[in-house]
Amino acid sequence: MSKLYVANGTQPKKMTIDLLERINPLRGKSKDIRIAIKPNLVCASPAEKGATTHPEIVEGIIIYLTRNGFNNIEIIEGAWVGDSTKRAFKVCGYEDISKRYGIPLIDLKDDSYVTKVYKGMELNICKTVFEIDYLINVPLIKGHCQTRITCALKNLKGIIPDSEKRRFHTMGLHKPIAYLNAVVHQDLIIADGICPDPYFEEGGRPVKLNMIAAGFDPVLMDSYAAKILGYKADAIKYIVLAESEGIGRIFKDDNDIVNIYEDSSAADNVTIVQKEKKYLKLIEQADACSACYSNLVSALEKLDELGAAEKIADQICIGQAYRGYRGTLGVGDCTSCFEKYLPGCPPSVEDIIKFLKE
């Protein structure tokens, strides 16, 4: 039965190499296979802020692979709608890795796509994904204001075009995420729990968990991530759906974990408690994209810290389903027919704060 391997500590590169040496994931594979590493570079924000995969983990993977004779490696990613993957590659330290090790960076926003159908649902997926032989998914163990958490299953959203990312939101996110994982198999997962943001996908409130987890089952990994982030796995709909599609099994207890260091005293014993975000009641979202929704939540969180969130409005509308509809107060271009709306696709956190204050 598949297990999760965990390393605790503060040296991401060494921890990653130790994990890979322990699990020896590529045994028996031809040295010529084309390997893609898929980090989470959702936005152009350095790993210390808690939104993006620590570059030292990816560096550790590259060192392990090349030491073992695997040299056909690339890094693939498509940042969220509204940000540039190339900017994220630069800001997050991946351009340096690319130069140092001669590894190409593939911006999937420039890729064409193929359409796959799973149980009647069409899924447009970047072409490159079907040309590689081995996919190493390197997500963060991170909070998400729409789906509560994001880890291995949801990180595959970076391998679809921007138009499809928007469409996933119109389909409610959970089912298309589960179905995408039924179509695209991830061969290995190295999940970054060094200093992720347990509350917001765009980072800003990192917590030092000082751990990395490796495994082969994305459902097991995500249900373990949910536990770390203070949720029960059955509270995350796409995990439950993915399990029912036979993609993996749900984490049960500590018997599912192998800690690779005998002395795991380096582990920070952090318990994440999710606080109630009362200001979420103000948001009327209908098919909102991640960046748009997340920026609005982040703006309200900041206003809440100033004690101003609940005085601002009774209702703030956001999302693609408002296109062409009239209303009172909206955020984003999709609400352009509203009496008052903030343009932008997506508008920035700073602009939303300014707009709501006004």
Q: Which residues bind ligand SF4 (CB under 6 A)?
A: 81-82, 166, 288-289, 291-292, 319-320, 332-334, 345-346
Separation CA 256–CA 310 (nearest Å) = 43
Residue 283 Cβ, how far from ligand SF4 at the closest point, in Å? 12
247: left (phi over 0), alpha (psi -120 to 50) or beta: alpha
Which residue type sits at 28? G
> Does residue 142 contact residue 89 with C-beta atoms inside 8 Å?
no
Q: Which tokens sit at 292?
A: 């748009």
Sort 272 into a burial class: Cβ within 10 Å, 0-12 / 13-18 / 19+. middle
Q: What is the Cα Rg of the chain in Å?
A: 20
* Min separation Cβ 79 and ligand SF4, Å: 13
- Which string of DSSP letters, residue by residue, matches 113-144? EEEEEETTEEEEEEGGGGT-SEEEEE-B-EEE
Residue 295 CB neighbour total at 10 angstroms: 27
Longest CA–CA span in the chain (Å) reads 63
Q: Is 293 helix (H, G, I), strand (E, B) or coil?
A: helix
Token pair 């749900």 is at which residue?
A: 250
306 CB burial (10 A radius; 0-12, 13-18, 19+): exposed
CB of residue 176 vs ligand SF4: minimum separation in angstroms? 16
Whichever of 47 and 81 has its CB closer to ligand SF4, that residue is: 81
Q: Quote the least distance from Cβ 43 to ligand SF4, whole Å.
A: 13
Plot region of 175 (φ>0 → left; ψ -120 to 50 → alpha; else → beta): alpha
Q: In the sheet that 105-107 helps form, which strands lie side by side, from edge to edge?
A: 105-107, 73-77, 35-39, 134-138, 188-193, 211-215, 4-8, 257-259
